[in-house]
């Protein structure tokens, strides 16, 4: 949960793979199974919401950064999966480096088309590091949401708090 002066302004949930699978398995079981067969530990980012009034890059970046840290540093996941509406694909590709795994399936849970995307969490870690030691621009010259995330000191403190809560 992201909050500002006690008011919730954003949420994200990290769902970890288990014997019950992930929500993405409902629409994209073949793709998720292939990643598991490749030996990757998976999670999914779900229930992402940011207050429409706030629309802050800082809020979104902080939520995503917290999700990355929880997935990679606490639970040691390799890849994060998300299902997005096709109109949001370019944003996740350009601002966070997600890759399309499969396009256009109907997600019956939300009765809307869905695209399965994945993010290599080691790549996300590299992007955070680069953003805090560079000018916030990717090597390919594009802007990045990573520069709006937590500082290295904030990330360290958050990882410690997350590890305590999962132990």
**What's the rounded Cα separation, in Å, for the pair 50 and 7?**
12
Q: At 122, which helix (H) or strand (E)?
A: helix 121-133
Report pLDDT for 136. Answer: 45
Which DSSP symbol is given to 147?
G
Written as six digits, the tokens of 88 are 């949001």
pLDDT for the residue 135: 52
Q: CA-CA distance, 60 to 147, in Å (whole number)?
A: 11
What confidence score (pLDDT) does residue 98 get? Answer: 97
Q: What is the pTM of this model?
A: 0.88
pLDDT of residue 110: 87
Instruction: Kindly report, residue by residue over 59-69, the tens digit of the pLDDT.
Output: 999 999 999 99
Q: What's the alpha-carbon Rg for the chain, to the nearest Å?
A: 16
Cβ atoms within 10 Å, residue 125: 16
Extract the residue ranges of the chain whose pLDDT is less than 70: 54-55, 134-142
Which residue matches tokens 């360290």? 156
pLDDT the model gives residue 138: 45
**For position 113, what pLDDT does the model report?**
95
pLDDT of res. 139: 43
* pLDDT score at 140: 45
pLDDT of residue 55: 65
- Phi (first) and psi of residue 61, to 5 degrees: -65, -40
5: left (phi over 0), alpha (psi -120 to 50) or beta: left
């Amino acid at each position: 949960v992201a909050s500002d002066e006690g008011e919730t302004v954003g949420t994200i949930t990290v769902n970890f793979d288990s014997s019950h699978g992930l929500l993405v398995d409902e629409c994209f079981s073949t793709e998720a199974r292939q990643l598991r067969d490749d030996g990757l530990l998976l999670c999914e980012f779900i229930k992402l919401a940011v207050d429409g009034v706030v629309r802050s890059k800082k809020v979104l970046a902080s939520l995503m950064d917290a999700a990355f840290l929880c997935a990679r540093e606490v639970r040691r996941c390799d890849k994060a999966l998300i299902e997005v509406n096709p109109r949001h694909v370019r944003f996740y590709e350009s601002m966070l480096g997600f890759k399309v795994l499969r396009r256009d399936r109907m997600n019956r849970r939300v009765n809307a088309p869905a695209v399965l995307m994945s993010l290599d969490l080691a790549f996300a870690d590299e992007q955070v590091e680069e953003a805090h030691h560079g000018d916030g621009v990717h090597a390919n010259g594009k802007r990045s949401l990573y520069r709006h995330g937590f500082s290295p000191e904030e990330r360290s403190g958050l990882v410690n708090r997350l590890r305590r809560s999962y132990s």
